[in-house]
Structure 1
């Protein structure tokens, strides 16, 4: 998978984090980083329009699972939100999480929950599957970059998404 960074300066930890998440998890359609709020916004795309009842059921399942995970890990997240937007025949579901309490395992949990609840209708880009060793390396890189973003004050609003086998990152 190829990637492009459309911004000024070096590839920062936050840019590397977004790239690694999109490479590791093809189920994540796009990801944004808001440095002011220290929040990551993960967007998943469902290939049809969900009803209000389906959205509410999905919201309850996803958010309660994330809350239970954090309770078991003895963490108190500052931001856990799920929002959605309907566009044409798609439902875009966005999860917002603060980077201070987010860990790689929780990202894996989010992706797994989406796979379980909206499995065959989850839009994902087909690409060469990473071998197990590459998956572990990407997961370790995500964890390392998350820790770096937590300790460094980066002030670039970033937006990353996939397009035709490439990961594109923009500095807003």
Structure 2
């Protein structure tokens, strides 16, 4: 028995965006896209050793830096929210952003800020034997930029959820 999935062009754009983000940034644990709210949520998984107080300070620093980034680039995000949730045995750092003002440069800045603030506590599916070459990273960055710039306004009503498991990216309707 074969299952056929009908994917329209709008779904390809949003699915492609989630896949590209996860492929480019192994630090990103999951990405969720809500087309009705035009919102994307990044989640980063943190070791259980991470102190809750330090994580909350780090979340505040990341949010403040992103707000400064928007001030310097003269953009006005409709949604920018950073929060930490302590869950046993791990914690999660969530960043909610509207897709209309989100850029590749902000995603890259976000990941770098995360590395600086909680680098050693961030769970990542990096595989040192399979290092991504510069050309492929550049291609992925261009793909993310293209998909963000061309994400249609008439998205399907299904929210999408993407995560990485054993080197593969999985995307599901939420």
TM over 0.5: yes
Specify the alignment match of 2:171 in structure 1. Answer: 169
- 1:48 and 2:66 matched: no
* Structure 1 residue 48, shift from structure 2 partner: 1.9
Specify the alignment match of 1:141 in structure 2. Answer: 143
- 1:59 and 2:21 matched: no
Given that residues 43 and 93 in structure 1 are in contact (C-alpha distance below 8 angstroms), is that contact kept between their aligned partners in structure 2? yes
Specify the alignment match of 2:96 in structure 1. Answer: 96
Matched residue count:
167
Q: Which consecutive unaligned segments of at least 5 residues does structure 2 have?
A: none
Given the superposition, is the C-alpha separation of residues 139 and 17 from structure 1 closer, same or farther in structure 2, using an over 3 Å criterion?
same
Deviations 1:38-91 (A, max 9, x none): 000000011125444323311221001100111111100000011222222211
User: For the residues of structure 2 that align with 1:87 and 1:138, how far apart are their CA atoms?
Assistant: 32
Moved more, 89-98 or 149-158: 149-158
Given that residues 49 and 86 in structure 1 are in contact (C-alpha distance below 8 angstroms), is that contact kept between their aligned partners in structure 2? no
User: For the residues of structure 2 that align with 1:152 and 1:136, how far apart are their CA atoms?
Assistant: 29
Instruction: Give the 5 Å matches for 1:13-162.
Output: 13-48=13-48, 50-127=50-127, 128-162=130-164
Q: Which consecutive unaligned segments of at least 5 residues does structure 1 have?
A: 1-5
Moved more, 6-15 or 102-111: 6-15
User: For the residues of structure 2 that align with 1:23 and 1:134, how far apart are their CA atoms?
Assistant: 10
* Structure 1 residue 36, shift from structure 2 partner: 1.1
User: For the residues of structure 1 that align with 2:153 and 2:135, how far apart are their CA atoms?
Assistant: 28
Which one has a larger percent strand, Structure 1 or Structure 2?
1
TM-score by length of 1: 0.90
TM-score by length of 2: 0.89
User: For the residues of structure 2 that align with 1:156 and 1:8, how far apart are their CA atoms?
Assistant: 14
RMSD, aligned α-carbons: 1.8
